[in-house]
Each structure stands twice: as structure tokens, then as C-alpha cells.
Structure 1
Amino acid sequence: MTRSLLTFTFLALCISARADENIAKAQARLQAEGFYRGNPTGSFDSETAAAVTRYQIRHGLAITGKLDAATSRELAILAPASEAPPKVLSGNWRRLRSGEMEFVQQAGASHSTKAKQVAAPTAAAPSLSANAPGSTAPPESSSGAQETASSQVNAEDNLSEAMRNYVAAFILAGLDPHIGSELEFFAPQVDYFGARNVSRERIERDLVRYDRQWPERRFWLDGDIQVKRRSGAAIEFVFPLRYELRNGSKRASGKVMKSLSLVAGGDNEMQIVAVDEHKAQ
């Protein structure tokens, strides 16, 4: 009996050490690609879950926040022996929302500056005949123009990063065991799938119904996120979302174009004021 117990304990420790090594390898790979900001620890914490989610959404993988079989293959690490249903630890999505409003505000400011530059009149240059001897064209660019262009590119990159993180966080919150997690993304009144000024209470009832109808869900970002409208700290964008739903033997799958409209809310976060979707072609 004692020998069996010792053998079991030894095997458990070996499996645990192997799992920790596997997680550390995943963290190192994620760190090398810029998704994980810490040092490899071998512990699957909220920062690791956020890094895994960022990796998944950029590589077209199912957004689970876990080192599932498909994600493990992409990271070239050992896949889990068995894959659990696509549920995530409560609250892991929060790390993906940090700084989102700052990104959108910066991008909005850059967008306004760019528009002003386009609209501003330029000083008239002296007219030179194409056949005039010794005529030279003015320089095409300057260091100031290059710096402005570089700033605009950086702002657009930040905006794309923020939108991807927001979509990933929104999807993870929808998989969270706590139904109220997804509800935190919505403003007090929302234009909700064609219905105007829907309250959070009504949205919560709908989320509970949806969770009961489809307890097992998988989602993929299936293409680029496109900005439709942007003004200051408000933004509207659309993205293609592929899904697989399951409830026992009942299944459903497909692809939709989802639209989100966000405005600046409290706690330095963006709130959804409108959500809609239609089947993708």
C-alpha cells in the first residue's frame, strides 16, 4: 500500500513538472513573439492567459485563453492529454482591457490631426516651366513630415492592437463561468441587435438564455477588423466572427459580421452602446 502511494506521488510530481516545463516553453515562445511581457515561470497565470489569447486571435485560432491542442501545436509544445470544454478561469479577460481607452483616444487625436493637415491650405510654390533650364523640384519630404507619418502609423497600429484585444476580451468574457462578466462591457442603454435602448437587465436575461441554450461555444476572429467610424473617444468597427456551438448532440456553426459601437465610459474603459450582426457572405 505504501509502495503504491509513493509510486502514485512520484508520477504526479513528474506530470506536474512536465506541465510546468511545457508552460514555461509556451511562455518563452510567446515572449519571443511579443505576446508575453514577463519572464517564463512555468505557472499559468492571468498574464499568461492574456498572452495566449493575443496569440490565438492573431493566428486565427479559437479564442479560449487556454493552451488547448490547436494552440499547443502552433506554439510547438506538447498538447494536453485531454481537452476540457472551452471554459476559462473567471476574470482572465480583464488584463486584455487595460489601457484600451487611451489607445482609442490617441488614435482619435491622430485622426483629427491628419484631417486638419489635409484640409489646411499650403503656401503657393513659384511656377516653374518644365522646359526652364536649371529648374529643380522641391524636396519631396522632410524630417518633420516623416516623423508625423511615423506617429500616424504608430497610432493606427495601437488602435488595431486595442481593437483586437477588446474583441478577444469580449469573447473570453462571454465564455467566463460568471455571466455578469460579459455584461460589464455594455453601457446602461444599448442598441441591441436591432432593438433600441435595451437595458442591462434585459441583456443579462438574454445572455443567461444563450448560455443555457449553447453551453459549449468556440469563436474565431476570421479576418480583419475594419473601422467604420471614429471620432475622439468613440469608435465603431466590424469584424468577421466564426463560431461553433454545441449542446449535447445539437450543434450549430457559421460565420457572422459583428458590429460594435463603443464610447468612453468609467474606469478608463470603453462601453458598448450598440451591437449587431448579420450572416457573412
Structure 2
Amino acid sequence: MRIGLQVPSFTFPGGPERIGPEFARIAREADEGGLHSLWVMDHFFQIAIVGPPEDPMLEGYTALAYAAAVTERITLGTLVTGVAYRHPGVLVKTVTTLDVLSGGRAWLGIGAAWNEEEAHGLGIPFPPLAERFERLEETLRIARQMWSGDETPFEGEHHRLERPLNSPPALRAPHPPVLIGGGGEKKTLRLVAKYADACNLFDSPEMPHKLEVLREHCEREGRDYAEIEKTAMTYFEETPSVDRAVDIVGRNAERGVDHVIFSQWPGQDLAGVLAEALPQVEKITPAGR
């Protein structure tokens, strides 16, 4: 089993001047502790489940580039980028840049987007849900094409790229892994089966059902279900502890999850706890493996 850390809040004691040093400390502790992945949200306003919109929120890819500079091994990604926020060609260039500068440690985490408040607040076009899913599939196709080195024009319903050049290429072979967030059974999990290297679902009793739906989509797409990394987003409902971390990972392993990502809520400091739990976590085998 793998474990990762998501940092969704940058409301640290000491105000904005402490955000850089505190985030760097967290990233270094997660890296030195052997955690597999470090994630930030791709939001511009804080989301309601974490805090008010006025709380400090960093732009995701700038934050990850900063984390890359202070770490050596941990993989880096957004959980997840809203497809409406960036032109696909620019997004692929951004993730590629992160991959090159980090030595091959970038993920492309992506989803259909949902936060209409921040989009309207910053003047970002926010099309209806059906169109956002169309744009998501086009973006996944564009990413695949650009990472393959194919510079022929791309003609989609929503995007036209005359020359999708991507130089320098990503270091990760064959490309940075693509993670799609969300558990929608008709569209999202179908796109996982068709395009993604990983899925991200919430830690909930619905997990086995969602993974069974994904398995069915894989069968229809002719895809090997086992090659898709199953990740779960979770958090500590109680005081964080090593024993509780191991229990949470074990519960998700029984459901067929490979990679558990713990979200660090305001006031928590999880990197040390998760690093201490790692020797026990690495002995846990996901169901079906």
C-alpha cells in the first residue's frame, strides 16, 4: 500500500508570510518520511468544507513547483485540476514543466470541475456540466497526443490546436500518470477506463460498488482493470495517530484501494504521523493483489 498527503489549507499561524516556510516544511517532512505523494487542490478560493472562501489559497501548480524544489523523491499532483480552468495545451505544458523540473515526479490530476463560485468570481468561463465532460475527454486526448510527440493538428468540438508541440518532453515514461477524480458511474469512471492511469474516489462504503463499475467499464473498453491505480481520499475524523492511520489504510485495502491519500485539515500536522505509520502500511496488501 502507498500513502500520500494532501494539503488543502494554507491557513497557518503567523499569517501569509508563514505560508512559504510552513508548506516547505510539510513537503520536506512528507518527502523525508517516505510518503509516496503530495497533493494540493486546484482551487482559487477555499472550498466550504475546509473554510470560508476568503481563507488563503495558493495556485496549485505554482505551489507544486515550489514543493518540487524542496523535495527529492515524493510525487506531486493536483487533486484535481478543474478542466475548465486552463486551456488543454497550456495544462499539458504546465504538467510537463513540473515533471521536467522535478525529475519525473509529476501527476496530471484532472476532473470535470464543480466550483462555479470561484469561476464566476475570477471571470473564468464555466460551461454546463455536459460540455465540461466533453472538454474533459478532449483534454485527455490532447494530453495523450502531446505526450506521444505527435504534432499533427488536433481538431475537436471545443479545441483546435494547429501544432501541439511539447518541448522539452516529460521525463516520466511513457508520460506523467493521469489521475481522474470523481465517482460518476456513467461518464467519469468510463473516462478512467479509457484514458487514465489512476482514479480517485472518496473513502466511503460505496467504494466497492464504484470499483466494480470501473471494472465493468474496463471490460467494455478492453482495458486491464489491474493496471489502473485505485486511490482514495480520506481524513482523520478523530485525533491523528499511527494506529488510526493503519486502520484507515487497512479498511481501504480491503476495498481494493492501492494508494490512500490523507487530507490534512486546518490545525493538523500529518506528515510525521503518516511517516511513522509507513512501515506497517507497506506490509498491507490490497484486496485482489
TM-score w.r.t. the length of structure 2 is 0.24
Bigger Rg over Cα: 1
Higher relative contact order (CA 8 A, sep 6+): 2
TM-score w.r.t. the length of structure 1 is 0.25
Return the structure number with greater strand share.
1
